[in-house]
Amino acid sequence: MQTGKSSIAIDGPAGAGKSSVARILAKKLGFLHIDTGALYRVLTLQVMREGIRPTEASAVAKVAKLADIEIVPGSNGIRVLLNGEDVSDAIREPKVSENVSLVAQHAEVREHLLTLQRQLAAPGGIVMDGRDIGTVVLPEAELKIFLTASPEERARRRMKELRTQGHKVTYKDVLLSIRARDNLDAERLVAPLRAAADAVPVDTTGKDINEVVREILEYLSAAGGLKGCSTDS
């Protein structure tokens, strides 16, 4: 499936810092970062635009089949296009966050995005983050990290991020929404949020992003490095 370059899988619950860690790590290694949550968010946005209930399996599956999703490099990280429109900001709206776990639980949606994710990963040299990357999407990834943090810390981080974007949210509401998403993601029947047996657990509570990245890089060099990354000597 993959070429000579390695792949890294980063999984964990909402707000554990996956995307920030994955982005910095990818930059340091000269790899491409793919945030798979964005793919589920794009489909959720389209489901909402079409006025479909996120629990309606067959209507949601149809949206998944028809949506043309592209991931393109932008000046400030990766941009996500839906039928040619840049929806990178729209998919981060709280309304999308509230519904995305419902859309992500449908088997047909996951099947469809599994193919897309594997196509994106095929060239290798990627850091892919999500919920089921180490267990389902890239079970052969050379390095698997499972990031966690306490729900309270994750809620504080998410609240800060949302307030910076101008959303008026309370800590209590964000914590409730994080807990609801944790439950839906961990308890769904298909590809639930779970650490792969061979994943390295990293708790990010009380640590800043750069500290976490350093920890992963130290682990990587102790394990003998990776194929194809720019830190190879």
Where does this chain bind ligand DC (CB under 6 A)?
A: 14, 36-37, 40-41, 100-101, 104, 130-133, 181, 185
DSSP letter for each residue of 95-132? HHHHHHHHHTT-HHHHHHHHHHHHHHHTT--EEEEESS
Query: Residue 134 gets which letter from DSSP?
Result: I
> Are the C-beta atoms of 210 and 24 separated by less than 8 Å?
yes
Question: Nearer Cβ to ligand DC, position 195 or 225?
Answer: 195
Q: Taking the complex as a whole, how short is the minimal distance between the CB of residue 51 and ligand DC, in angstroms?
A: 21
Considering the complex, state which of residue 35 and residue 142 has its C-beta at the smaller distance from ligand DC: 35
57, burial (CB in 10 Å: exposed 0-12, middle 13-18, buried 19+): middle
Shortest CB 230 distance to ligand DC, Å: 26
- Of 105, 61, 71, nearest in space to 91 by CA: 71
Nearer to ligand DC by Cβ, of 169 and 227: the residue is 169
Residue 83 or 183: the one with the smaller Cβ distance to ligand DC is 183
The encoded tokens of residue 204 equal 């990010």
Q: Mapping DSSP to helix (H, G, I), strand (E, B) and coil, where does residue 31 land? A: coil
The CB-of-199 to ligand DC minimum distance in angstroms stands at: 14
d(CA 191, CA 137): 9
Q: Which is nearer to ligand DC, 124 or 130 (CB)?
A: 130
Nearer CB in complex with ligand DC: 80/220: 80
- Which residue lies nearer to ligand DC by CB, 66 or 180? 180
* DSSP states along 34-99: EETHHHHHHHHHHHHHTT--TT-HHHHHHHHHH--EEEEEETTEEEEEETTEE-TTGGGSHHHHHH
The CB density around residue 201, as the number of other CB atoms within 10 Å, is 11
CB of 232 to ligand DC, least distance (A): 28
Q: How far is the CB of 211 from ligand DC (least distance, A)?
A: 21
Task: Report in angstroms how near the CB of residue 54 gets to ligand DC at its nearest.
Answer: 12
Distance of alpha carbon 22 from alpha carbon 25, whole angstroms = 5
Smallest gap from Cβ 200 to ligand DC, in A, equals 18
